[in-house]
Copies of this chain bind each other. A is one copy, B any other.
Amino acid sequence: MAKINENYLKLQAGYLFPEIGRRVNDYMASHPGKKVIKMGIGDVTRPLVPSVIQAFHEGVDEMAQANTFRGYGPEQGYGFLREAIAKNDYLSKSIDISAADIFISDGSKCDTGNIQEIFGHNNKIAICDPVYPVYADTTVMAGKTGNYNSGYYEGIIYMPCTRKNGFIPDLPAETPDLIFLCYPNNPTGTVATKEELKKWVDYARKNKSIILYDAAYEAFITEEGIPHSIYEIEGAKEVAIEFRSFSKTAGFTGTRCAFTIIPEELKAYDSTGKAHSVKSLWNRRHSTKFNGVSYPVQKAAAAIYTEQGKKEVAEVITYYLENARIMKESLSAAGYEVFGGMNAPYIWVKTKNDMPSWDFFDILLHEINVVGTPGSGFGPAGEGYFRFSAFADRNSTIEAMSRIKNHRLS
């Protein structure tokens, strides 16, 4: 008799974003003609830049001729892309990362979820609260938790990120083995300084823990001195995996390409205490359960690193950051307490009078046709907060802010 993985039964309701999609679709189906402005799911709206489009077409054309056709590529990604990443994202910024430590994938969501597989069930996981839901859900699926109880899964170490600690977690009372951190942060839009990250790297080195560092939004950092990579911190290569994505950096949410860095130095341990290379384990997983990213997509991604590509991509980032600035200003003017939006495409808003997040979601959707993300969807400490993304087009952004300003929302 085929038996299910019963860990799945512990999972709560639907995954957050499909649930938002369902409510929005239901509303739109029963209210045709309404112009709903979507600032919920963190999805980009600007087209791929010309350099990327040109390289994408060239990649497709190569697939049309026998002498340039590409079949299976290296599971880890093509050398030309891994080298462009190492050179432009790391070496040119004095961060010593080798192309050989870079794994190209079809998305950071996949990688942050799949990475769980190479670690045993007996690891204690720490995650921030609130946080991107994939970390907790995949921890549950992998059998590293107990049941769900009052908003939390037993066995996960939750680290509250609140106004009080500036949305940077304190070191937890119980020592975790794997620690998910995400800066610039989703959902709060806040960043961590070098000092704050150093605290975590030192803590992980002391405890032989591993930091799973999600840097999907690093391209949005505008302030000098804020670290773009955890490897800017001394010793981080011994204790950290870094996840990056072209999704938000270059509008690849529908094109699919990301990468993960696992330095040669990084070790994890077996039950006898023997150290093993984490990179080797991931390489085995990646080459057994994955077959590489589409060649034209990798070719398109590499174009981001040309001089022209860099310029074009930077313009798109600036466009979204200007949206964020407008939103931050408008929401503050409308009397909301607002966080983030300076070095990140997310605005984290305190609801008025502690209105529950989903109530605020439904009011915004039904009364002014604006979609955001309920803070409580990211964890109990997100209750009473709301996330807006800066990825809408300029006119929609201005229109949504105007609707919020002009409507009497409780």
Contact = CB atoms under 8 A, between A and B. Distances in A.
Interface of A: 1-6, 8-9, 11, 15, 18, 41, 43-48, 50, 53, 56-57, 60-61, 63-66, 69-73, 75, 106-107, 109-110, 113-114, 117-123, 134, 137-138, 141, 177-178, 207-210, 251, 253-256, 268-271, 276, 278, 281, 284-285, 287-297, 393
A24 to B, nearest CB: 13
A208 B2 contact: yes
Contacts of A122: 3
A62 to B, nearest CB: 9
A315 B177 CA distance: 55
Nearest to A112: B289
| Copies of this chain, whole number | 2
A64 B254 CA distance: 12
A251 B8 CA distance: 36
A137 B287 CA distance: 11
Nearest to A21: B74
A256 B291 contact: yes
A69 B46 contact: yes
A285 B254 contact: no
Contact of A134 (B18, B53, B254, B288): B288
Nearest to A122: B3
B69 A48 contact: yes
A94 B288 CA distance: 35
Contact of A64 (B43, B48, B72, B141): B48
Contact of A254 (B15, B56, B70, B278): B70
B66 A109 contact: no
Contact of A289 (B18, B113, B284): B113
Given A56-B63, A295-B254, A270 B4 contact: yes
Given A63-B48, A281-B5, A254 B110 contact: no
Given A15-B288, A269-B4, A141 B117 contact: yes
B137 A288 contact: yes
Given A15-B288, A64-B53, A269 B3 contact: yes
Contact of A138 (B15, B60, B177, B288): B288
Contacts of A1: 177, 207-209, 269
A336 to B, nearest CB: 26
A56 B60 contact: yes
B294 A294 contact: yes
Contacts of A281: 4-5, 8
Contact of A72 (B253, B271, B293): B253
A210 B64 CA distance: 39
B3 A255 contact: no
Contact of A290 (B110, B268, B284): B110
B268 A3 contact: yes
Given A15-B288, A18-B287, A71 B254 contact: yes
B47 A71 contact: no
B6 A271 contact: yes
A4 B73 CA distance: 28
24 contacts: A1-B207, A2-B119, A3-B268, A4-B120, A6-B271, A9-B270, A9-B276, A43-B72, A45-B71, A53-B60, A53-B63, A53-B64, A60-B296, A69-B251, A71-B251, A71-B254, A73-B254, A106-B106, A110-B289, A110-B290, A138-B289, A254-B292, A254-B295, A297-B297
Contacts of A177: 1-3
A290 B5 contact: no
A251 B63 CA distance: 9
B291 A106 contact: yes
A297 B59 CA distance: 12
Nearest to A140: B288
B48 A107 contact: no
